[in-house]
Amino acid sequence: MNKVLMSGNNIIGEAAIRAGCVFYAGYPITPQNELTEYMAEHMRNAPGGVFVQSESEVAAIHMIIGASAAGARVMTSSSSPGISLKQEGISSMAACELPGVIVNIMRGGPGLGNISPAQGDYFQATRGGGHGDYRTIVYGPATCQELADLTMHAFDQADKYRTPVMILADGMMGQMMEPVVFKKPKPREYSEKFMLRGAGTGKSRFIRGLILNVIEEEEHNWKLARKYQTIIDHERMHEEYKTEDAQLVIVSYGTSARIVKGAIKRLRDSGMKVGLFRPITLWPFPEPELRTLAKKVKNFLVFEMSTGQMLDDVRLALQGFADIGFHGRPGGVVPTPAELANVITRHYKTEILPKSEHLGLE
């Protein structure tokens, strides 16, 4: 297969089209404009492909709802403030059990914030984001290859579970260029019985989120909860890097995890036993895997480009079985690996070394 050099935003677009996405609606917002522009240029050439530049983020998500119900593979993309606007529709997709992929190329917030890479939307993405009792599958790619692979996978997962799936990357991932290989997508598996295509000569059907009978709505909520439990049980993904002998494990995702890897190379050269635990699915969070790691590692440091959001999930996973430190750079600041290495070194020297000496491990 050919290796090509492309920027992150374009890779998502190309992967989506190859995965059979035939309907894209989007609204301009930095730093994800290249993706919308890529879809404008290439969707028209895809068989049956539709590109709509919508009047708003809200309209875009509702357009993909309509196309999804009609049976098309659908996607929309935006950046943080735009994702806030889409939450009404994402909640509706979860309620109506409609598949679709939503890409969030995060930027600094809250509010309009800025257009630099940030990870402040973790809570919004992993806790549902919109109103009501629902979850969204969330992928946190950390390389351009993962942007391609996870985008294709996201469409399959959306169909498999009939639920909205989010790609949570940031401005750095969207703008960077790396070589990428587009793998062969799997054939689509999605039953026509879930599509609204006109009743023909048969019985008419409807898709709705409104369920006025509270007992029915309760059962619908439990049905969704059972589905989310299946996803938790079967769809967790993570990566471990140099954790075999690690005395300190950094927990980090996406762009942050890339910086951590750079820092770890430096730290290992200085003899510090530091590893990385990188959740790839942010929801479902790889909780059991992190907990298992805590059987041998007693010190963790969470690093995020936020004031501490995934930190909550790490605390829930470790449940007091290990010490957890935190380092955050919110607001669009992207630290260098050298800078992060200094932070980790300080933590290592104050938290790990004294205990190791005490135990005679040095």
Partner 1 sequence: MAKKVFSRPKSLKEVINHYCPGCGHSIAHRLIAEVIDELDIRGITIGVPPAGCAVLAYFYIDVDMLEAQHGRGPATATGIKRALPDRVVFSYQGDGDLAAIGMAESFHAANRGENITVFFMNNAVYGMTGGQMAPTTMVDQKTTTTLAGRNRITEGYPVKVCELFSSLKGTTYIERCTVNSPANVNKTKKAIKKAFQCQMDGLGFSLVEILSPCPTNWKMSPIDSCKWIDEVMSKEFPLGVFKDETGAAKKREEAAS
Q: Which residues bind partner 1 (CB under 8 A)?
A: 22-23, 25, 50, 52, 54-56, 58-60, 62-72, 74, 88-89, 92, 96, 196-201, 204-210
Least separation in angstroms between CB 136 and partner 1: 17
Least separation in angstroms between CB 72 and partner 1: 4
The one-character DSSP state at 183 is P
Phi, psi (rounded to 5 degrees) for 106 = -65, 150
Helix axes of 254-269 and 337-347: crossing angle, nearest 10 degrees: 70
Between CA 180 and CA 185, with CA 184 as vertex, the angle to 5 degrees is 110
Least separation in angstroms between CB 210 and partner 1: 6
Q: Which residues contact 172 (CB under 8 A, 6 or more apart)?
A: 117, 255, 334
CB of 2 or CB of 201, closer to partner 1:
201
Least separation in angstroms between CB 27 and partner 1: 11
Diameter over CA atoms, the chain: 80
Rounded Cα distance between 28 and 22, Å, is 19
The one-character DSSP state at 108 is S
Helix (H) or strand (E) holding 26: strand 23-26
First to last CA, the chain: 48
Rounded Cα distance between 39 and 46, Å, is 10
Least separation in angstroms between CB 59 and partner 1: 4
CB of 89 or CB of 254, closer to partner 1:
89
Q: Which residues contact 129 (CB under 8 A, 6 or more apart)?
A: 83, 87, 90, 91, 136
CB of 22 or CB of 167, closer to partner 1:
22
CB of 28 or CB of 179, closer to partner 1:
28
Report residue 187 CA to chain centroid gap. Answer: 23
Least separation in angstroms between CB 89 and partner 1: 7
Residue type, 97: E
Least separation in angstroms between CB 227 and partner 1: 20
Rounded Cα distance between 35 and 42, Å, is 10
Rounded Cα distance between 301 and 307, Å, is 14
Least separation in angstroms between CB 204 and partner 1: 5
CB of 76 or CB of 252, closer to partner 1:
76
CB of 67 or CB of 248, closer to partner 1:
67
Least separation in angstroms between CB 123 and partner 1: 23
Q: Kindly provide the b/e burial profile for residues 139-148, where b requires at least 16 CB atoms within 10 angstroms of the residue's own CB.
A: bbbbbbbbbb
CB of 115 or CB of 196, closer to partner 1:
196
CB of 88 or CB of 312, closer to partner 1:
88
The one-character DSSP state at 100 is E
CB of 67 or CB of 259, closer to partner 1:
67
Q: Which two tokens stand for residue 205?
A: 């059907």
